[in-house]
Amino acid sequence: MKQLEFGEEEAACGIGGDDTMHELVNGMMSHTVEMRAPLALLSGETGNSFLCDLDCCTTEAVLNRLVDDEIRSIDLFEITLEGKKP
């Protein structure tokens, strides 16, 4: 994902579960703040506790939010110890 550039009307979308979302977030965090895009995750019919926490457990619910342009922010942080990322 590091090589991808996103336009203003674009988002990154994956299909899978919590591990896939983890990879999407890590990839997007490699971009500068200005170049980051919204993320979407379509259920891969696994546990998907992340999607369920957002009240979006089904692929239909995710697609409805994409069509309605409903973007929801989540908290995310980065840890640096003595100038290094662990």
pLDDT score recorded for residue 1: 61
Residue-range definition of the domain harbouring residue 14: 1-86
13-28 core/surface letters (b: 16 or more CB in 10 A; e: else): ebebbbebbeebeebb
pLDDT score recorded for residue 22: 87
pLDDT score recorded for residue 28: 86
Instruction: Say how many domains are in the chain.
Output: 1
Q: pLDDT (tens digit, 9 = 90+) per residue, 18-77?
A: 888 888 888 888 888 888 888 888 887 667 788 888 888 888 888 888 888 888 888 777
Does residue 86 carry a pLDDT above 80? no
What is the model's pTM?
0.67
